[in-house]
Structure 1
């Protein structure tokens, strides 16, 4: 009973990995993936916990390398997909994993746009990806910072990778803005507190307060209003790239139009729920805090005022 009562609510799994070409033809994949929130860390420690977790719909999701059948060893040597290239996988430290557990129709897989496309390009994959209904993509900072002539190529590679590997996808959240420096080992603690905040409008109905903290590092500058304008502009460019990709790909692959017509693409910002007595969302991409309800839903200042005048509780 204790395992069932403590199964986590829907959460965002930061499936963090890097694909790097180093000397010569060697490629290295580094992983630092969120482990299992709460009592999921006891997965497979006993039959009761194991049965409870799997009955709840949790399945293993992992980085799969080309030619690698055993991901439990410390180091895997596999053959690359492009002939002579060698592919390495390292567990740099024992507490880092190349796998985690999630519920395909409940939880959200978060991956970096460029690494996600690159992994599949070299012949790797992400197990369970084909059955996920909702994924989130971040890391667009690196795409928008590239040569404008290369931006469309990056987005085309991303959209193609999604279309070919996410057959059950219903929604993809495109996370604009980075703004937070998450270091190795911090993802486990923040898995349950992450919230995706839809990027629609100017946020004028929300109560934004600039984050006074000097301990939480961001690499952004500017007032929240100017940052909102910037992220909205980036979101507009992304949606335009998607329209361009569908239009140019349609003649050769008619199914592309049907696929993307069924997938809801939502530009978002990443936020973290914090504070018990006074819940708030920390939005590093805006360098701000937003007052919210206990479940992380932003507090609408105008709706709240109307409720007060009507005699209802805020």
Structure 2
């Protein structure tokens, strides 16, 4: 009996000892996690001070930061991935820049609707599918995106705003009548309860990206007193460049005056402009947005005339693009007449005319790159990548990297011994 009591006492003491050891181990593990978290925060703040970046308000307290730290703990516990936050900030920035999109065409779609003497400005710009995730990731990504990309913002209408359409006129005292004194600032795409999510701005990389704006809509926007902040833009493309007569009953304008006023306002609002292109297309390219498709602008020049275009089925185009070259000749003639300013009602300033002498617009066509990823499903022997010109039944063969296929390349190397 005594031995049984002693054995039970020994087992009880052993169980208590094991429980105490488990409690101590859990306490040490908790303290270790707390110290690791504090050390991570301290290291990051020190690194931020070295980079001279201000600490965001309520940093480390937001729900997204809490989730980030939980993910950090999980990644360090199982050693599956070295946490991104532990890398030096210089390395993080280098990795981030690899995520930035390449050269892009940015469409800025908006429309002005007249309704009972009021104006409704409809923004139709969706969030940027490439930059929005980076802007919402953390403070570092947000800072670097804002350094590399500039915001091009469409300003809302305001009461009594004067039109900037006439700032480039030679007669600085000219003041057109204001027929839009009663203004209604509305945006049906961003209203409460709206099913659409739309923005009034886009992000653009000035050095490489091209901003596409509708020719007619930019005139209406500035005519009624609106404006766009395009001071940082260096490449502009005007879509749907078809001459039109402004048939507003109180203030009609012929197509030549419309074109002159548009050129005047672009020269004033976009002082850093390097290149402007008229987009030639048989359909509206503003309404079609292909997120996963690479788009480029082909300049319509003499070399463009000798390209070997194909139909959709791959057969060769029988005729050369005579209509395109004729359109280019007409545009060049109209621009030369614009520089002369013959009998111009709205004469532009001399510095504005000098600006356009150094920035002669060109004609371009938007083409979408098709890598032919489903060539196996089409029972082809190999992929046949090519460009499709928007609004036309025209295709141009290309290589996988996007360079145009030259059917004559290699002849000089084979027969004349030229270097490859």
TM-score norm. by structure 2 comes to: 0.60
Please name the residue that 1:134 is paired with: 235
Q: Give the 3 Å change call, closer, same or farther, for CA 238–86 of structure 1 in structure 2.
A: farther
Q: Give the one of 270, 291, 309 matched to 1:189.
A: 291
Structure 1 residue 135: Cα displacement:
0.8
Map 1:1-314 → 2, pairs under 5 A? 1=92, 2-21=95-114, 23-33=115-125, 35-55=127-147, 57-67=148-158, 81=162, 82-91=180-189, 93-127=195-229, 129-141=230-242, 143=243, 150-179=254-283, 183=287, 186-187=288-289, 189=291, 193-201=294-302, 203-212=304-313, 225=319, 228-248=321-341, 253-275=349-371, 277-303=383-409, 305-307=411-413, 309=415
Q: Give the 3 Å change call, closer, same or farther, for CA 310–120 of structure 1 in structure 2.
A: farther
Asked if the contact 1:20–1:29 (Cα under 8 Å) also holds between the matched residues in 2, the reply is: yes
Please name the residue that 1:220 is paired with: none
SS at match of 1:195: strand
**Alpha-carbon RMSD:** 3.2
Please name the residue that 1:75 is paired with: none
- Taking the aligned partners of 1:11 and 1:312, their CA distance within structure 2 comes to 36
Structure 1 residue 311: Cα displacement:
6.7
Asked if the contact 1:172–1:265 (Cα under 8 Å) also holds between the matched residues in 2, the reply is: yes
Please name the residue that 1:217 is paired with: none
Q: Give the 3 Å change call, closer, same or farther, for CA 253–287 of structure 1 in structure 2.
A: same
TM-score norm. by structure 1 comes to: 0.78
Q: Give the 3 Å change call, closer, same or farther, for CA 18–232 of structure 1 in structure 2.
A: farther
Structure 1 residue 281: Cα displacement:
0.7
Asked if the contact 1:110–1:138 (Cα under 8 Å) also holds between the matched residues in 2, the reply is: yes
- Taking the aligned partners of 1:15 and 1:258, their CA distance within structure 2 comes to 28
Q: Give the 3 Å change call, closer, same or farther, for CA 251–112 of structure 1 in structure 2.
A: closer
Structure 1 residue 259: Cα displacement:
0.4
Mind listing any 5+ residue stretches in structure 1 that lack a counterpart?
68-77, 214-222
Deviates more, 1:93-102 or 1:262-271: 93-102
Structure 1 residue 125: Cα displacement:
1.3
SS at match of 1:28: strand
Asked if the contact 2:246–2:258 (Cα under 8 Å) also holds between the matched residues in 1, the reply is: no
Asked if the contact 1:280–1:292 (Cα under 8 Å) also holds between the matched residues in 2, the reply is: yes
Asked if the contact 2:150–2:232 (Cα under 8 Å) also holds between the matched residues in 1, the reply is: no
- Taking the aligned partners of 1:304 and 1:32, their CA distance within structure 2 comes to 47
Please name the residue that 1:70 is paired with: none
Larger radius of gyration: 2
Q: Deviations over 1:114-138 (max 9, x none)?
A: 11121122121112x0221111111
Q: Deviations over 1:227-257 (max 9, x none)?
A: x333333333333332222322697511122
Q: Give the 3 Å change call, closer, same or farther, for CA 252–286 of structure 1 in structure 2.
A: closer
Structure 1 residue 180: Cα displacement:
5.8
- Taking the aligned partners of 1:297 and 1:145, their CA distance within structure 2 comes to 40
SS at match of 2:151: strand
- Taking the aligned partners of 2:284 and 2:419, their CA distance within structure 1 comes to 35
Q: Give the 3 Å change call, closer, same or farther, for CA 271–144 of structure 1 in structure 2.
A: farther
